């Protein structure tokens, strides 16, 4: 009788824990993680390092964002890359400026998954829009306890009608909305690349992933890292920054 009572107790406890887990808003966690990363507005200075088996190069960049629809990224060094810039307005409206040819080029949707500046980040990765929030279905797979934090493992599957190249994405989001890992899987559900957070510091008044690495799993010893040196949130950013005119002739 005591054994049966114990089994009933354990079953009820597991059922309650499962119900509590299912009550967690997976979509809300993804949305909050993106909002945490971007803020209402943001300005950052960072370095991107592209590593290949036989060479490595680094670029310095400045980036501005406003809301979930506007982003400007401009390369500042080395001299051969300085001035290259990318402007994002709304979902999938992306322009690129190359000073060597003095042209502003619209990036079509078909090229959003292609490499940005020869790195392992795509044009879509750089834009960091909230597309994943609205065009995916989100499910909490499990909750882990890591170094005193709850970490939510969330599976995000794009809607059938969405123009998304990935079969699904899996996010590891800490309870303070810092994303620890992001897995990108193809249509065959094979992992293609993984974005991992290597260092977390307090920046701009919040804990932030200041050092991340994108690993391409099919290419040995190929990766791209981004390190953030300066980060300010909620500063006043004029609208003219997010224009094609400013993309070509910067006034920031």
In tens, the pLDDT along 200-211 reads 999 988 999 999
Q: Which residue has the higher pLDDT, 163 or 8?
A: 163
Which pLDDT value is given to residue 125? 85
In this structure, the strands spanning 136-146 and 85-89 are unpaired
Which pLDDT value is given to residue 23? 65
Residues above pLDDT 90, as percent of the chain: 68
Lowest mean pLDDT among 61-65, 105-109, 137-141: 105-109
Model confidence at 130, pLDDT cuts 50, 70, 90, reads confident
Residues above pLDDT 70, as percent of the chain: 88
Q: Whole-angstrom Cα distance, residue 84 to residue 106?
A: 14
* Tokens at 116, concatenated: 């940005």
How large is the average pLDDT for residues 119-129?
Answer: 82
Give the 3-state secondary structure of 109-165.
HHHCCCECCCCCCEHHHHHCCCHHHHCEEEEEEEEEEECCEEEEEEEEEECCCCCCC
| Residue 64 scores a pLDDT above 60 | yes
| Residue 220 scores a pLDDT above 90 | no
Which pLDDT value is given to residue 5? 45
How large is the average pLDDT for residues 1-13?
Answer: 43
Model confidence at 92, pLDDT cuts 50, 70, 90, reads low
Q: Which residue has the higher pLDDT, 235 or 185?
A: 185
Radius of gyration for the chain, computed over Cα atoms and rounded to the nearest angstrom: 20
Q: Which of 103, 136, 107, 106 is closest to 124 using CA atoms?
A: 107
CB-side neighbour CA atoms (13 Å) of 216: 16
- Measured over all CA atoms, what is the biggest interatomic distance in the chain, rounded to whole angstroms? 82
Q: Contact 75/82 with Cβ under 8 angstroms?
A: yes
Which pLDDT value is given to residue 126? 79
Residue 86 φ then ψ, to 5°:
-130, 130
Give the mean pLDDT of the chain: 88
Q: Contact 252/101 with Cβ under 8 angstroms?
A: no
| Residue 148 scores a pLDDT above 50 | yes
* Tokens at 59, concatenated: 């670029």
Q: Which of 113, 143, 154 is closest to 28 using CA atoms?
A: 154
Q: Which residues pair with 43 in a beta bridge?
A: 64, 232
Model confidence at 26, pLDDT cuts 50, 70, 90, reads very high
Q: Which residue has the higher pLDDT, 11 or 227?
A: 227
* Tokens at 113, concatenated: 């998954």
Burial class (CB in 10 A: 0-12, 13-18, 19+), 20: exposed
pTM across the whole model: 0.85
CA angle (120 as vertex; 115, 123 as ends), nearest 5: 40
* Tokens at 219, concatenated: 């290419």
Which pLDDT value is given to residue 228? 97
CA angle (138 as vertex; 33, 132 as ends), nearest 5: 55
DSSP 233: E
Lowest mean pLDDT among 105-119, 177-191, 234-248: 105-119
Domains of the chain: 25-248 (2.50.20.10)
């Amino acid at each position: 009788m005591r054994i049966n009572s114990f089994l009933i107790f354990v079953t009820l406890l597991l059922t309650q824990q499962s119900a509590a887990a299912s009550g967690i808003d997976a979509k809300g966690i993804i949305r909050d993680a993106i909002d945490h990363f971007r803020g209402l507005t943001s300005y950052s200075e960072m370095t991107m390092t592209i590593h290949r088996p036989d060479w490595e190069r680094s670029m310095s960049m400045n980036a501005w964002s406003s809301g979930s629809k506007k982003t400007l990224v401009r390369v500042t060094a080395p001299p051969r890359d300085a001035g290259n810039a990318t402007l994002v307005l709304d979902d999938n409206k992306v322009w690129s400026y190359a000073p060597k040819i003095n042209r502003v080029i619209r990036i079509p949707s078909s090229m959003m998954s292609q490499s940005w500046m020869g790195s392992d980040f795509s044009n879509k990765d750089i834009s960091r829009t909230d597309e994943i929030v609205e065009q995916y279905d989100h499910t909490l797979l499990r909750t882990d306890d890591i170094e005193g934090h709850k970490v939510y493992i969330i599976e995000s599957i794009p809607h059938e009608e969405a123009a998304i190249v990935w079969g699904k994405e899996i996010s590891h989001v800490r309870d303070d909305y810092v994303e620890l890992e992001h897995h990108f899987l193809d249509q065959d559900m094979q992992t293609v690349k993984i974005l991992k957070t290597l260092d977390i510091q307090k920046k701009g008044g919040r804990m932030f992933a200041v050092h991340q690495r994108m690993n391409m799993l099919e290419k040995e010893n190929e990766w791209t890292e981004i390190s953030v040196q300066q980060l300010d949130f909620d500063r006043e950013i004029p609208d003219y920054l997010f224009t094609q005119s400013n993309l070509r002739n910067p006034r920031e």
